[in-house]
Amino acid sequence: MTKLVDKLIKRVRKRKEAINGTGGIAGFIVDQYGLITTIFVIAFFVCLAMFPLVKVNYDLTEYLPQSAVTRESIDVMEEEFGYPGTARVMIRDVSIYEAAMYKQMLEGVEGVDMVSWMSADVFMGGDFTDAASQSDYYKDRCAVMDITFKEGDYADSTDSAIVEIQEMLGDKAAYAGPAIETKSLIDNVSSEIVVIMILAVLIILVILLITTTSWLEPLLFLAVMGIAIMLNQGSNLMFGRISFLSQSVASVLQLATSMDYSIFLLETFETMNHEHPGNKPEAMKRAINASAVSILSSAMTTFVGFVALGTMSFTLGADIGFVLGKSIICSVLTVLLLMPALILKFDDKIEKYKHKSFMPKFEKSSRAIFGMRYVVLALMAIIVVPAYIAQSMNDYSFGNSAMGRSEGTQVYDDSNEIEEKFGRSDLYLLIVPNGDPVRERQMAEELKDLYYVRSCTGLSSVLPEGIPESIVPSSITSLLRSDNYARMLLYTRTSIESELAFQTNDEITGIVKRYYPNNSYVVGHTPSTQEIKTIILNDYLITEGFSVMGIAVVVMIAFKSLLLPILVLIPIGVALFLNMATPYIQGETLMFTGYVIVSCVQMGATVDYSILMTNNYLASREEGMTPFQSGINTLRKSISSIITSGMILTLAGYSIYFISSVSAISSIGHMIGRGGFMSMLMVMVAIPALMSTFDGLIFRERELSDRIFSKNKPHKKVELKKKKEKATKKK
């Protein structure tokens, strides 16, 4: 698809010699196709071997900048005590005595650090049991216990401990908490990636079978993209490990955004082969030269959109942006270097299995769409402001809790069941300097008095006054005190991520800092999520601005124009606003990281549609057509290519949406699919309208541009006049 800058080739006369020439890089690629093929085969198998070695990270806090308070707090916690994973288990239909026995069994599981349950002696009679404590931990013959693991939520030992607990309790228990959510996330992602990819390949295969003219072409395109995908996936080893979001969407997005390059190279080769029959290697050299600028220009807009994510100080953006950006590089190299050899090798079979195109000519639809141009512009002007306001009012989530506990999963159902029975629970880990047990006790008492605090456990606060810590076994004291710090476990009745949770975090942190102004830390999922939110919100405007400006610069260079980048980006911007306003209208919650990712992806991946139509409009005008004729001709020439590319991106996104049970991944797929479809429609109806409306300004600017860049050339305005006169004489 996307003949992005053929206009540039026509306008710059010096380029014509390079295009018509058959030596240079194109000659080397064709003449040395055997060597190049060997290199790619070796690279493919090397990357295939490296692919399983690429680690996948699920912890968003690792992408916080080192300067972040949460990052420093976690480092201190891990150095002094380790950073424990946590879970919540509710055992159904048990007596207090049976629950106490289960507690002992859970404490014996390898990888479990401690199990928090009722502090009272449960073997006392009911009259002596603390009723308030009992209602927090035991109710209606159900017992809920907070489990702290020796290692983090993402550790293998924690995963093994959860498996053993689930085998021990089976369906008798419901399981929730960060460690359970993490395990659910890892299990779902690893099992769903293959299904998503298979579905995407089948969908794209069907689209290509409909839109191409040979039964073999789709298989060739998919083979080339399959090699490019493996090169990208295996080379991710250079990063050490990548995020689960990158792992989940990179292959599908690479397939969806890079397929155009293969299609355009083959189409150009067929054109050159028709113009210069009898010498296929020569035709391929010309095809490489003629298509390279367009392919590279198309790739650059997508690459800039992806790499813009690297400007985020929350380095998850860089992780995703660099993986996706590298995928574009791998695709371009594979198409320009390897695909020529495959085309030459299988060209006879491609010709043998040719068939008539199933795509219509779009003659009537082109006239109908262009006939609505003034209505389209009016509607755009009406909806752009409300859409922009609506998309800015979305409700967002920011942390890990939005991922592993997706609606429709078992952990989602279990979490709701536990919360309905016992309310919410969130663990804070308070780290304060050693040396003043009295102050520790006072702080713990003040924290316990907060209405949303369920419990606050510290060594100095649980030991009776006057009892020395030295009589307590070191296996217990080591959990709550190190050589330098004391640790307290504080459970609240709030969710991990909400405005109330953030307010409670501010209040808890304020109390800790009042008692210990220096070298004290508050660690937990809520503090981490709150800081992620602050950093991402600060990142957004920079990332979005870099993406838009980078793409605009690429378009400006391609067309040597200041006006055309604005016109090219207008329909993409409107489609982006509409896409992001939809969740607000539907009352959905978006993960903000996904929102930023999709904004850059939609902008970078679909701006090609605008560029293609702009290029075709300018070419039509240079052939002497009127603005009215050029608008219709632009649609007629572009609709088929845009539908092919747009439907590939749309259905690839929806394959992620329908398969993934992880809300963060699913919502990214949904927004990409919906955004691709909206961009496709918006470009088709808006670009011809914008081009014809601003035709006079466009060509006045081009006349000025020609004066600057081509002083010896006749101005385009004069050329257009001559072409119109010739066209009139022919008529």
Three-state SS for 558-582 is HHCCCHHHHHHHHHHHHHHHHHHHH
Gap between the Cα atoms of 696 and 718, Å rounded = 14
Q: For residue range 308-340, list pLDDT tens digits in order.
A: 888 888 888 889 889 999 999 999 999 999 999
Token pair listed for 675: 């955004």
Q: Quote the Cα angle for 504-477-109, to 5°.
A: 85
Domain boundaries, the chain: 6-59+184-278+285-356+561-693, 80-183, 409-530
Tell me the CATH number for domain 409-530. 3.30.70
Q: For residue range 537-569, list pLDDT tens digits in order.
A: 888 778 888 888 888 888 888 788 889 889 999
| Residue from 625, 643, 646 nearest 695 by CA | 625
pLDDT band per the 50, 70, 90 thresholds, residue 260: confident
What are 57's strand-pairing partners? Answer: 243
Residue 291, pLDDT above cutoff 90: no
More confident residue, 302 or 723: 302
Give the pLDDT confidence score for residue 287 in this predicted structure: 87
Gap between the Cα atoms of 60 and 664, Å rounded = 12
Residue 236, pLDDT above cutoff 80: yes
C-alpha dihedral (320, 321, 327, 332), degrees to nearest 10: 170
Running DSSP on this structure, what letter comes out for residue 627?
H
Give the pLDDT confidence score for residue 401 in this predicted structure: 62
Token pair listed for 315: 């380095």
What's the predicted TM-score (pTM) here?
0.80
Residue 49, pLDDT above cutoff 90: yes
**Residue 446 near residue 466, CB atoms below 8 Å:** no
Gap between the Cα atoms of 47 and 49, Å rounded = 5
CA count, 13 A, side-chain hemisphere, 106 = 28
Gap between the Cα atoms of 91 and 98, Å rounded = 10
Gap between the Cα atoms of 22 and 286, Å rounded = 6
Same fold, 80-183 and 409-530: yes
Task: Give, to the nearest 10 degrees, the angle between helix 592-622 and helix 563-586.
Answer: 140
Mean pLDDT in the chain? 83
Token pair listed for 486: 């004391």
Gap between the Cα atoms of 531 and 130, Å rounded = 37
Tell me the CATH number for domain 80-183. 3.30.70.100
Find tokens 């390279």 and name the residue. 292
Q: Give the DSSP H or E segment for 698.
A: helix 695-709
What are 486's strand-pairing partners? Answer: 432, 481
**Residue 168 near residue 223, CB atoms below 8 Å:** no
Largest CA distance in the chain: 110
Find tokens 């916690």 and name the residue. 77
Q: For residue range 650-703, list pLDDT tens digits in order.
A: 998 898 888 887 777 888 889 999 999 999 999 999 999 999 999 989 888 888
Q: For residue range 501-522, list pLDDT tens digits in order.
A: 899 999 999 999 999 999 899 9
